[in-house]
Structure 1
Amino acid sequence: MKTYVFLLIAVLFETFGTSCLQASQQLTRFWPSVGIVVGFGGAFWFFMQVLKVIPLGVTYALWSGIGIVLISISGYFVFGQKLDLWAVVGIALIISGIVVINLLSQTSVH
């Protein structure tokens, strides 16, 4: 369970760092630029902790899938970026993949 908490923390740091990429306006704003370093630094540290328990492929699939969902939500609420129907369908498919990995895969740690 602790491993999945670390994975979620890693994804939250990554989502923060990615949002700061947008907010930094190509590294021209100081605090969002600092947020990039903090966000990705924290994300990679927690990601490394997860890799001690869960195989790389599964970890990266979960990391990227959850990250896509969270950054899409962030883009919508923070930056006013809209998603069309097909983007929502694609994100739903990604969520479905995450569910399949967690419920059915013997590779993932439960």
Structure 2
Amino acid sequence: MSPCPSGDSPVYLAVFACIYYNIKKTAAIKVLLASGCSVNVQNNNGFTPLHLAAMYGSFNFTQFLLNEGADPCITNMDGLEPADLALHAGHLKIQKILQETKCMKAHIIK
């Protein structure tokens, strides 16, 4: 499945729709991931689905995406990670879980 002209992947668009319409279920996104879509594809602005979930304060989708292998260290075109966007938007609980996940991954790699 190829991205849109904006570079938005099917997973990105599905996460956006779920957040926008306040849909808590992740079944459609699971189908996309099982079909081979990547959770870490960046759009033309460098945003991943995790950036989107963090920016809009969706704790449910942030956790889901992390559990599906989303990388909290990917930066967008402005050099911002999902945790930075969560912090700027005042979503401190999400910023904390992203930082903790980032630290755990860094510790495992060492």
Structure 1-normalised TM-score? 0.32
Higher RCO (C-alpha under 8 Å, 6+ residues apart) = 1
More helix by share: 1
Larger radius of gyration: 1
